[in-house]
Amino acid sequence: MAAAPDAPADPVTAPAGAAAAPDAPASPEPPPTAAAAPDSPAAAAAAPAAVVFCEDGLAVPEPVAGDLEAECPYSVAALEARDARGGDVADLDVRVWQREGNLASLFVSARPGGGSWEALGTISLAPDDGVTASGRLRYGDLALDVPRPGDGPPLAIELRVWQQLPAPWGTSAQRLPDAGSTYIGARVAGGSWDSLGMIPLPLAGRLGSDGPFRYGDIALRVPLPGGDADRALPTATVVLADGYSTVERITWRQRIEEEYAITTAFFAHRYGLTAEDVTLVMSDSKEPAAYESGVVALTEGDLRSIGWGYALALHEELSGGASPPQWLLSGMAEHFTAVHGFAAGWRATEPGLERDIRDARGAAEPLRSDTDIRDCGVSGIAGLATARLVERAGEGALWEFSRLLRGARSWEVAFAEAFGVSIDAFYEAFDAYRREVAPPHPHIQGVIVGADGMPARDLEVWAAAPDSSAWIDPTGADGAFSVAAGSSPIELFVTHARCGIIGYYDGVGGLVGWMDFDARAAIEVGDAGVGGLTIVLPIDPDAPCVDDGTGWWKAPEGVDEAGPPSLYRISGVVLGPDGEPVEGVYVKADGGRGANVRRDETGADGTFTLLTPPGWYKLGVRVYLPSGSSRAGWYGGESGFTIRRQQITLVGVDGEDVTGIVVNLPEFR
């Protein structure tokens, strides 16, 4: 794990009697060894600042005007231990302080778990002991002698605080956490940093309304050597697609491994959960991040999606691969992504409902088990519904639901047991709540067809107005769309995931180029919405993304615009346990390079056809069950369907079609 290099040979050592606190200081005197943070290094050695006490002897680095008794209580969330018994860990309560306007001015208050703050005091910490391999984080170390219960000798614990540097990667940095974002780890002297890893610690507390310090609290359970908890957090397999230089491969690998270390530490510390055998794949594609059977496909530069993918991997490990309805799985993943994102510094504020409420207004239909998460506004409804479940049963109920899925007779049974309400009763109550907080916008509805009149799927319809954000809805197998109109008038345009904008709706059933401003139709939308639109594409929607001279389609990088690339068919059939064809199964060919992902849905005869350029492909298979849940796997194994990555059969395309593939589905509960 690339998160934590070995500690320096001579770490910073806490003063022996730092920041001792009298029981009830009327006018506290500065202890002679109290660590302060003057503005200049020279002043640091001149005169220590006075100490103000919050509560129970917790010392503030310097005096601040006002009564602090109720302003800085120590408070941490309840934690679930990671397979550890009481004798396997040493409990340590820690508060990290940071002076406003000076990222390097850090202090640490510590005490034995539940003990007295007077035991260890408040100590200055300079984050200047080293920088991580990626250049993203600097860190500082402290050595603490932590008293043990009884008369035993103190336990030597080393504490490390990492801090996000400002823009350490120059122009190549994309979507970094805020500078000053803080992470913490600890080990028994001589142990490994990898047991706790780099735990995100948001400094969200503030000392007074205009006080000079931010702070964050954490309860650490430091593994003791040889105990059950004394093992490294899991690492991931990192795969980088072709096209990166040697230097780029080294740099990206360091960044990905470091972010993964932060992610695993967060989930292990907060929830007591880890996931093994995760693979992180990154290419130079700009397609959205995706997850399938332990593999997280990252959009280049967007390391935030590591937390999202890891939350899905944890669910998969707990549930044994059983999936709830799309909305619930998506809502769970987004919830934990937001919580992790705030802790790790990816977002500046704690998760709220404002965005979900705004997005939910874009959904036309009520939430149900078969709701398609890709439809307009459904992600917002999923977020609101998940928040209601957390409000009802607590955050831990989401993980408990995942555990119950593994052995439950149905996902509905697991839902009722985890959240204390039947799914039907929940839907009824949520419908009323949604009508109150997020009533739906009017919608524009219609269908997109090709020149031959056949439905055009996997396109996106955007509804945009000058004074509001755009709404998006994808076309399904029937070519239909229903997109929200937040205001009026509205312009519609159609895009392709890899090819960009195809054109703008002209008001008479066609599309015009994006530069033809005068030919675009302005659609007036009333409270009842607009329906019955039919849009005819100018060319075959399944054709390669090559400019045909009219400017509607763009050729992707590496494609010769003089002619389309050679494409070959991967075709086969999906059969059920009874040997009959299965309709509505999603099959995709994934070449591991982002843009080379092709998808199809089986028809009534169970067949699928995927057009691909030459290369090696994994065939992903996803089955949607009548209950609204789904099962996912790959082509491989003896039956042609497997959920084990070790049994995946790669399909090679080399100058000719590949036919006759048979996927035999098992019996799903």
Residue extents of the structural domains in the chain = 41-223, 237-437, 443-536, 568-664
Q: Is 594 left (phi over 0), alpha (psi -120 to 50) or beta?
A: left
The answer to whether residue 544 scores a pLDDT higher than 50 is no
Rounding to the nearest 10 degrees, give the CA dihedral for residues 481, 485, 489, 494.
-30
- CATH homologous superfamily of domain 237-437? Neutral Protease Domain 2 (1.10.390.10)
The answer to whether residue 62 scores a pLDDT higher than 80 is no
Structure confidence at residue 159 (pLDDT): 92
The answer to whether residue 529 scores a pLDDT higher than 50 is yes
Q: Which residues pair with 574 in a beta bridge?
A: 663
* Mean pLDDT rounded to a whole number for the chain: 77
The answer to whether residue 548 scores a pLDDT higher than 60 is no
The answer to whether residue 638 scores a pLDDT higher than 90 is no
Structure confidence at residue 301 (pLDDT): 74
Please indicate whether residue 84 or residue 231 has the higher confidence score (pLDDT): 231
Structure confidence at residue 262 (pLDDT): 92
CB-count exposure of residue 268 (10 Å: 0-12, 13-18, 19+): buried
Going through 452-524 in order, the beta strands assigned E by DSSP cover 459-465, 468-474, 480-484, 491-496, 500-505, 511-512
If you ran DSSP here, which 8-state letter would residue 635 be given?
S
326 SS3 class = helix
The CA distance from 75 to 203, in Å, is 12
What long-range pairs does 499-507 form, CB within 8 A, spacing at least 24? 499/545, 499/553, 499/554, 499/556, 500/554, 502/459, 502/537, 502/538, 502/552, 502/553, 503/538, 503/552, 505/533, 505/535
Among 349, 18, 2, 273, smallest CA distance to 162 is for: 2
Residue range 75-89: average pLDDT? 58
List Cα–Cα distances, 366 to 205, 352, 363, 369, in angstroms: 39, 22, 8, 10
The CA distance from 469 to 455, in Å, is 27
Structure confidence at residue 647 (pLDDT): 80
Structure confidence at residue 230 (pLDDT): 65
Structure confidence at residue 56 (pLDDT): 62
* Residue 308's pLDDT band (cuts 50, 70, 90): very high
606 SS3 class = coil
The CA distance from 375 to 354, in Å, is 19
State both tokens at 413.
Answer: 């049974």
Q: For 334-344, what is each residue's pLDDT tens digit?
A: 999 999 988 88
3-state secondary structure 86-117: HHHEEEEEEEEEEECCCCCCEEEEEEECCCCH
State both tokens at 250.
Answer: 């080294």
The CA distance from 1 to 561, in Å, is 44
State both tokens at 558.
Answer: 């590496």
Structure confidence at residue 542 (pLDDT): 56
Rounding to the nearest 10 degrees, give the CA dihedral for residues 28, 29, 35, 36.
80
The answer to whether residue 479 scores a pLDDT higher than 60 is yes
Residue range 253-277: average pLDDT? 91
Q: For 549-598, what is each residue's pLDDT tens digit?
A: 344 444 344 444 444 456 788 999 999 999 999 988 889 887 754 445 67
Structure confidence at residue 368 (pLDDT): 94
Residue range 195-199: average pLDDT? 88
Buried b vs exposed e over 454-484: b needs ≥16 C-beta within 10 Å?
Answer: eebbbbbbbbbbeeeeebbbbbeeebbbbbb
Neighbours of 139 (CB within 10 A): 24
Percentage of residues in the chain with pLDDT exceeding 70? 75
* Residue 46's pLDDT band (cuts 50, 70, 90): very low
Q: For 162-171, what is each residue's pLDDT tens digit?
A: 998 876 444 3
Lowest mean pLDDT among 42-51, 156-165, 185-194, 392-401: 42-51
Contact 332, 379 (CB under 8 A): no
The answer to whether residue 4 scores a pLDDT higher than 70 is no
Q: Is 440 left (phi over 0), alpha (psi -120 to 50) or beta?
A: beta
The answer to whether residue 70 scores a pLDDT higher than 60 is no
Structure confidence at residue 539 (pLDDT): 64
Please indicate whether residue 616 or residue 71 has the higher confidence score (pLDDT): 616
Among 655, 640, 556, smallest CA distance to 606 is for: 640
Lowest mean pLDDT among 13-22, 235-244, 432-441, 592-601: 13-22
Contact 82, 89 (CB under 8 A): no
List Cα–Cα distances, 200 to 41, 44, 552, in angstroms: 28, 28, 46
Q: Report strand pairing: 443-449 vs 295-298.
A: unpaired
Contact 403, 318 (CB under 8 A): yes
The answer to whether residue 112 scores a pLDDT higher than 90 is no
Residue range 415-419: average pLDDT? 96
Domain 443-536 has CATH 2.60.40.1120: yes
Residue range 343-358: average pLDDT? 80
End-to-end CA distance of the chain: 38
Structure confidence at residue 239 (pLDDT): 86
Report which secondary-structure segment, H or E, holds 51.
Answer: none
Q: Which residues pair with 621 in a beta bridge?
A: 587, 633
Helix-, strand-, coil-residue percentages of the chain, each rounded to 5 = 20, 30, 50
The answer to whether residue 68 scores a pLDDT higher than 80 is no
Residue range 595-612: average pLDDT? 80
Q: For the domain 568-664, what is the CATH code? A: 2.60.40.10
The answer to whether residue 22 scores a pLDDT higher than 60 is no
Fold match between 443-536 and 568-664? yes
* Residue 460's pLDDT band (cuts 50, 70, 90): confident
List of residues 6+ apart from 184 with CB closer than 8 A: 94, 96, 159, 160, 161, 162, 198, 199, 201, 218, 220
Contact 183, 161 (CB under 8 A): yes
Please indicate whether residue 1 or residue 640 has the higher confidence score (pLDDT): 640
Q: Where does 285-377 have alpha helices with state H?
A: 305-319, 326-344, 354-360
Q: Report strand pairing: 182-188 vs 199-200.
A: antiparallel
The answer to whether residue 64 scores a pLDDT higher than 70 is no
Q: What angle separates helix 411-419 from helix 378-393, to the nearest 10 degrees?
A: 50
Neighbours of 505 (CB within 10 A): 26
List of residues 6+ apart from 190 with CB closer than 8 A: 225
Structure confidence at residue 284 (pLDDT): 66
List of residues 6+ apart from 251 with CB closer than 8 A: 134, 172
Structure confidence at residue 15 (pLDDT): 27
Lowest mean pLDDT among 181-195, 369-383, 566-580, 633-647: 633-647
